[in-house]
Amino acid sequence: MAGAVPAVSAARGQCAAVHAADHLTEHAAVRWLLIGIALLFLGLFLILPLVTVFVEAFRKGAALYFAALREKEALAAIRLTLTTAAFAVPANLIFGLAAAWAVSKFRFRGKQVLLTLIDLPFAVSPVISGLVFVLLFGARGWFGPWLSEHDVKIIFALPGIVLATVFVTFPFVARELIPLMQAQGVQEEEAAATLGASGWRIFWKVTLPNIKWGLLYGVILCNARAMGEFGAVSVVSGHVRGKTNTIPLHVQILYNEYKFTAAFAVASLLVLLAAVTLGVKSFIEWKHHQSAHTGAEESGDPI
Amino acid sequence: MPTWRKSRSVLPGFGLSMGYTLVYLSLLVLIPLAALFIKASGLGWAAFWQTVTDARVVAAYKLSFGASLAAALVNGVFGFLVAWVLVRYTFPGKKLVDAIVDLPFALPTAVAGIALTTLYAQNGWIGKLLVPLGIKSAYSPLGIIIALTFIGIPFVVRTVQPVLQELDRETEEAAVSLGAYRTRTFVKVLLPQVLPALITGMAMAFARAIGEYGSVVFISGNMPFKTEIAPLLIMTKLEQFDYAGATAIAAVMLIVSFVLLLVTNVLQARTQRKLLAG
Amino acid sequence: MSHIEVRGLTKSFGGHLAADGISFAIGKGSLVGLLGPSGGGKTTVLRMLAGLERPDSGDITFEGVRVNDIPPQKRGIGLVFQNYALFRHMNVFDNIAFGLTVQKRSKTYIRERVGELLELTGLAGLAERLPSQLSGGQRQRVAFARALAPQPQLLLLDEPFAAIDAKVRKELRLWLRDMIDRVGITTLFVTHDQEEAVEVADEIMIVNRGRLEQKGSPEHIYGTPQTPFVAGFIGESSRVEAVSELHGFEHCHEGAKAIVRPEFIEIGSPRELRLPSASGQGIVKAVFFRGTHWQVEVEVGTNRLFGYRDLEQPALHPGDATHVLVHRAYLVSGGQVSVVENRYKTDPMPVHI
Q: Does pLDDT of A60 surpass 80?
A: yes
Is B254 in the same domain as B186?
yes
Is B229 in the same domain as B199?
yes
Average pLDDT rounded to a whole number, residues B118-141 = 90
Looking from the CA of A82 toward its CB, the CA atoms found within 13 Å total: 7
Q: Does pLDDT of A12 surpass 50?
A: no
What is the model's pLDDT at position A294? 61
> In this structure, is residue B2 part of a structural domain?
no
The radius of gyration of chain B's CA atoms, rounded to the nearest angstrom, is 23
User: Is the Cβ pair C73, B181 closer than 8 Å?
Assistant: yes
Residue type, C149: A
The CATH number of the domain holding residue B211 is 1.10.3720.10
Task: Report the 10 Å Cβ neighbour count for B98.
Answer: 18
Is B117 in the same domain as B24?
no
Average pLDDT rounded to a whole number, residues B163-187 = 89
Higher pLDDT, A290 or B250: B250
- Lowest pLDDT segment from A152-156, A262-266, B155-159: A152-156
- Strands C321-326 and C280-289 turn out to be antiparallel
Q: Does pLDDT of C149 surpass 90?
A: yes
pLDDT-based confidence at residue A3 (cuts at 50, 70, 90): very low
3-state secondary structure of C305: strand
Q: Do the Cβ atoms of C85 and B189 come closer than 8 Å? A: no
> In this structure, is residue B97 part of a structural domain?
yes
**Closest CA in chain B for residue C83:** B170
Chain A residue numbers touching B247 (CB-CB < 8 A): 131, 135
Number of domains in chain B: 2
Residue type, B29: V
What is the model's pLDDT at position B275? 55
Tell me the pLDDT tens digit for each residue of C109-147.
Answer: 999 999 999 998 889 999 999 998 998 889 999 999 999
Is B26 in the same domain as B57?
no
User: Is the Cβ pair C73, B180 closer than 8 Å?
Assistant: yes
Q: Does pLDDT of A297 surpass 60?
A: no
Phi, psi of B144 (to 5 degrees): -65, -45
Q: How far is CA B8 from CA A191, A194, A222, B199, C9, in A?
A: 15, 14, 34, 40, 62
Q: Tell me what percent of the residues of chain B surpass a pLDDT of 90.
A: 66
Is B162 in the same domain as B37?
no
What is the model's pLDDT at position C14? 83
What is the domain range of residue B23? 13-42
What is the model's pLDDT at position A15? 37
Query: Which chains, if any, share at least 3 CB pairs under 8 A with chain B?
Result: A, C
CB contact set of A74 (below 8 Å; sequence gap of 6+):
A68, A250, A262, A266
> In this structure, is residue B20 part of a structural domain?
yes
Average pLDDT rounded to a whole number, residues C275-298 = 87
The rounded mean pLDDT for chain C is: 88
CB contact set of C307 (below 8 Å; sequence gap of 6+):
C262, C265, C266, C267, C295, C296, C298, C324
Query: Which chains, if any, share at least 3 CB pairs under 8 A with chain C?
Result: A, B
User: Is the Cβ pair B189, C134 closer than 8 Å?
Assistant: no
- Lowest pLDDT segment from A256-265, C183-192, C289-298: C289-298
What is the model's pLDDT at position C194? 85
From the candidates A47, A132, A273, A280, which should be mutated to test the interface with B, based on the most B CB atoms within 10 A?
A132
What span, in angstroms and rounded, lies between the C-alpha atoms of C180 and C121?
Answer: 11
Nearest to C52 among A21, A301, A303 (CB): A21
Tell me the pLDDT tens digit for each residue of B21-76.
Answer: 999 999 999 999 999 999 988 888 899 999 999 999 999 999 999 999 999 999 99
- DSSP secondary structure of C157-202: EESTTTTS-HHHHHHHHHHHHHHHHHHT-EEEEEES-HHHHHHH-S
What is the model's pLDDT at position B277? 52
What is the model's pLDDT at position C276? 82
Q: Which of B5, B26, B42 is the last residue of a domain?
A: B42
Is B73 in the same domain as B204?
yes
Q: Tell me what percent of the residues of chain B surpass a pLDDT of 70.
A: 94
> In this structure, is residue B71 part of a structural domain?
yes
3-state secondary structure of A217: helix
Is B210 in the same domain as B185?
yes
Q: What string of H, E and C letters represents the secondary structure of chain B?
A: CCCCCCCCCCCCCHHHHHHHHHHHHHHHHHHHHHHHHHHHHCCCHHHHHHHHCCHHHHHHHHHHHHHHHHHHHHHHHHHHHHHHHHHHCCCCCHHHHHHHCCHHHHCCHHHHHHHHHHHHCCCCCCHHHHHHHCCCCCCCHHHHHHHHHHHHHHHHHHHHHHHHHHCCHHHHHHHHHCCCCHHHHHHHHHHHHHHHHHHHHHHHHHHHHHHCCHHHHHHHCCCCCCCCCHHHHHHHHHHCCCHHHHHHHHHHHHHHHHHHHHHHHHHHHHHHHHHHCC
Nearest to A190 among B5, B10, B105 (CB): B10
Nearest to C72 among A19, A23, A303 (CB): A23
Tell me the pLDDT tens digit for each residue of A72-88.
Answer: 999 999 999 999 999 99
Is B20 in the same domain as B52?
no
Nearest to C39 among A21, A22, A301 (CB): A301
What is the model's pLDDT at position A50? 94
- Lowest pLDDT segment from A74-88, C41-55, C160-174: C160-174
- Tell me how close the Cα of B134 comes to any Cα of chain A, in angstroms: 19
- Strands C31-35 and C186-191 turn out to be parallel
Is B31 in the same domain as B79?
no
Name the DSSP letter for residue C73: G
Is B32 in the same domain as B153?
no
Q: Does pLDDT of A23 surpass 80?
A: no
Closest CA to B109 of A1, C164, A234, A210: A234
What span, in angstroms and rounded, lies between the C-alpha atoms of C259 and C145?
Answer: 43
Q: Does pLDDT of A108 surpass 50?
A: yes
What span, in angstroms and rounded, lies between the C-alpha atoms of C267 and C271?
Answer: 11
Query: Which chains, if any, share at least 3 CB pairs under 8 A with chain A?
Result: B, C
Helix (H) or strand (E) holding A266: helix A260-298
Q: Tell me what percent of the residues of chain C surpass a pLDDT of 90.
A: 42
> In this structure, is residue B5 part of a structural domain?
no
Tell me the pLDDT tens digit for each residue of C15-31.
Answer: 888 999 999 999 999 99
**Closest CA in chain B for residue C75:** B177
Is B38 in the same domain as B114?
no
User: Is the Cβ pair B182, A26 closer than 8 Å?
Assistant: yes
> In this structure, is residue B205 part of a structural domain?
yes
What span, in angstroms and rounded, lies between the C-alpha atoms of A244 and A224?
Answer: 19
Phi, psi of B126 (to 5 degrees): -90, -40
Average pLDDT rounded to a whole number, residues C295-313 = 88
3-state secondary structure of C253: coil
- Tell me how close the Cα of B241 comes to any Cα of chain A, in angstroms: 9
Is B233 in the same domain as B124?
yes
pLDDT-based confidence at residue B273 (cuts at 50, 70, 90): low
- Lowest pLDDT segment from A50-54, B158-162, B266-270, C116-120: B266-270
Nearest to C39 among A19, A24, A303 (CB): A303
> In this structure, is residue B91 part of a structural domain?
yes
What is the model's pLDDT at position B276? 55
pLDDT-based confidence at residue C353 (cuts at 50, 70, 90): very low
| Angle subtended at Cα A202 by Cα A197 and Cα A207, rounded to the nearest 5 degrees | 160
What span, in angstroms and rounded, lies between the C-alpha atoms of B49 and B57?
Answer: 11
The radius of gyration of chain C's CA atoms, rounded to the nearest angstrom, is 24
Q: Does pLDDT of B2 surpass 70?
A: no
pTM for the model stands at 0.83
Chain A residue numbers touching C45 (CB-CB < 8 A): none
Closest CA to A24 of B9, B47, B168: B168
- DSSP secondary structure of C201-249: -SEEEEEETTEEEEEE-HHHHHHS--SHHHHHHTTTPEEES-GGGSTT-
CB pairs under 8 A between A and B: 316
Average pLDDT rounded to a whole number, residues B90-94 = 92
> In this structure, is residue B184 part of a structural domain?
yes
Q: Does pLDDT of A186 surpass 90?
A: no
